[in-house]
Structure 1
Amino acid sequence: MKSLKVVFFGTPEFAKTSLEAIHQSNHDVVGVVTVADKASGRGQKINQSAVKIYAVENNLTVLQPEKLRNPEFLEQIKNLNADIFVVVAFRMMPKILFEMPELGTFNLHASLLPDYRGAAPINFAVINGEEKTGATTFFINEKIDEGNILLQQELDILPNENAGSLHDRLMEMGAGLIVKTLDGLAENSIIEKPQPEVAEPKNAFKIFKEDTKIDWAKSTKEVHQFILGMSPYPAAFTTLKIGNDDKGLKIYDGKFEILEHNQSVPSLEISKSEFKIFTKDGVYFPQELQLEGKKRMNVKDFLNGFRNFDEISLS
């Protein structure tokens, strides 16, 4: 099989797995582009991306431009003489860059496009209670996640699966799909096709802090899926009033029961042995949670930290 010369663009662990798969394949990684190192935390420790760490460990050429239009960077990339660029979990690329290689530039997206275009496809597939999702490789153009499709692969979402678990499974599956795409392009056996026109495609917009608050007015099932879809990151939250203080409470996991009740909605019933929140059509039982200023814990340990339950309510 023909070996393609590849420049890889990516940053987090999700991308590193794809880089590793390409590096271990028949294809030749001639360069790796990732985010610049950043200082963070109290000691201003320098943090390197997962992609950079892997590339350095494997003696791959690493470029970390501040700006993708920088003439010096563009010249460095051009001199690598790549056949194709592969992008996984990176930032938007200018046309002058993605049109550079002869075979073009393709991206891996963690959904079955055209559904769930955007920054958080894994989270929203779980939040919306989808039974399946998948991954798509597609050629990049000037519109976000709208280029011609190369390959797609479906993946079932497991019952009560959270976004973290689905992320890890898509990460592994997506890495294999990238290698299949490179193989197909090398052999000229893939027919690219435009994305289907969909009247109302499902969106996966970027998630901000205010988007992570739990809406207890929704159905119990919707609340459950929202919590799973935000777990473990960025984590769904609600607010407890403890005495005179309002405290944020992140909920990572739980179970629920659909039942009729005459409790006000939302309200909580909390004791040494049980923590339940009443919704419009049932009850939600948090199982893994984290009170503001505390570590993540199971509900039993959480309840053991209180003495006076009468002073706790939903804020």
Structure 2
Amino acid sequence: MKSLKVVFLGTPEFAKTSLEAIHQSRHEVVGVVTVADKASGRGQKVNQSPVKIFAVQHNIPVFQPEKLRNPEFLEELRKLNADVFVVVAFRMMPKVLFEMPKMGTFNLHASLLPDYRGAAPINYAVINGEQKTGATTFFINEKIDEGNILLQEELDILPDENAGSLHDRLMEMGAKLVVKTLDGLADDSIQERPQPQVEHPKNAYKIFKEDTKIQWDILSGTVHQFILGMSPYPAAFTTLKIGDEEKGLKIFSGKYELADHGKKAGTLDISKNGLSIYTQDGIYYPQELQLEGKKRMGVKDFLNGFRSFEHITMA
């Protein structure tokens, strides 16, 4: 059985799981490319990516170029003489880099391409109430997430599953798919195929802060899926007015019921007994939330933090 020499490019935990799977397979990881170390937090502690931490622990050479076109970096990579590059949760790559290995460069994407091309496929699959998603390995070309498919595998989305839970299941499934793809390339048993032509594929654009605000004047089920799709990160939010102050309120989970309430969507009922927010066709009951400046907590603990509720409204 042929073993391939692999250069792995990735950064977060999602990528580290694939790197670990390759390391434990018959293939050899000859180098890892990841993001530069960053100082963050109050103490400006220098943080290394999960991919770098794993590589260092297992004596795999690590490259952290600021620019992927850097000639010295490219020359060092060329010397590794890798058969294939594997990309998981990394950044845009120049042609000079992804065309370097003999077999090419393939990427793991957490959707059933061509649907959900882009930065946030897991979030949008949940937000849109999909019942199925999956993972795809495909050869990288100059267009984003549009290269020829190698392997694809489906995964059912569970009822009331949030993006965090789906992320973790796809991370494990995707790691196995990456190894299966390497095995297939080594054995010459994979037939690459163009992505199906779809007139309007569903998109998974990058999520910005303004995209995470909850719109209450829509259907309850849509609100519920939006909150699940943003949980736990980047987290859906609304704004409360507490006295004269406006504070962001992140909502991570909840339940809803349909009701002909006759109230304006986005209004709030709050008391020691519970918190309810009216939608277009029902009532949403937050269960896990986080007020700006406070810790994440259950709704009971949240309500216990107030002596009175008269001064609290939706902003």
* Same fold at TM > 0.5: yes
1:118 has 2:107 as partner: no
Q: CA deviation at 1:42?
A: 2.0
Work out the number of aligned pairs and report it: 315
Match of 1:178 in 2: 178
Secondary structure (helix, strand or coil) at the match of 2:310 reads: helix
**Partners in 2 of 1:292 and 1:43 — Cα distance?**
21
1:150 has 2:146 as partner: no
State the one-letter code of the partner of 1:57: Q
**Partners in 1 of 2:98 and 2:286 — Cα distance?**
46
Match of 1:136 in 2: 136
**Partners in 2 of 1:74 and 1:21 — Cα distance?**
25
State the one-letter code of the partner of 2:22: I
Superimposed CA distance per residue, residues 81-136 of structure 1 (whole angstroms, 9 cap, x where no aligned partner): 00000000000110011001000000000000000000000000000000010000
Secondary structure (helix, strand or coil) at the match of 1:135 reads: strand
**Partners in 1 of 2:65 and 2:218 — Cα distance?**
45
Superimposed CA distance per residue, residues 214-267 of structure 1 (whole angstroms, 9 cap, x where no aligned partner): 000111000000000000000000000111111100000000111211122221
Supply the RMSD in Å over aligned alpha carbons: 0.6
State the one-letter code of the partner of 2:14: F
Secondary structure (helix, strand or coil) at the match of 1:214 reads: coil
Match of 1:254 in 2: 254
Match of 2:69 in 1: 69
Superimposed CA distance per residue, residues 178-208 of structure 1 (whole angstroms, 9 cap, x where no aligned partner): 0000000001110100001111100000000
Superimposed CA distance per residue, residues 268-298 of structure 1 (whole angstroms, 9 cap, x where no aligned partner): 1110011001111000000000001111000
**Partners in 2 of 1:194 and 1:124 — Cα distance?**
23
Match of 2:238 in 1: 238
Secondary structure (helix, strand or coil) at the match of 1:309 reads: coil
Consecutive unaligned residues in structure 2, runs of 5 or more: none
Secondary structure (helix, strand or coil) at the match of 2:166 reads: helix
Match of 2:4 in 1: 4
State the one-letter code of the partner of 1:111: S
Deviates more, 1:41-50 or 1:187-196: 41-50
Moved over 6 A (4+): none
State the one-letter code of the partner of 1:312: I
**Partners in 2 of 1:66 and 1:305 — Cα distance?**
46
% identity of equivalent residues: 77
**Partners in 2 of 1:241 and 1:65 — Cα distance?**
46
1:82 has 2:82 as partner: yes
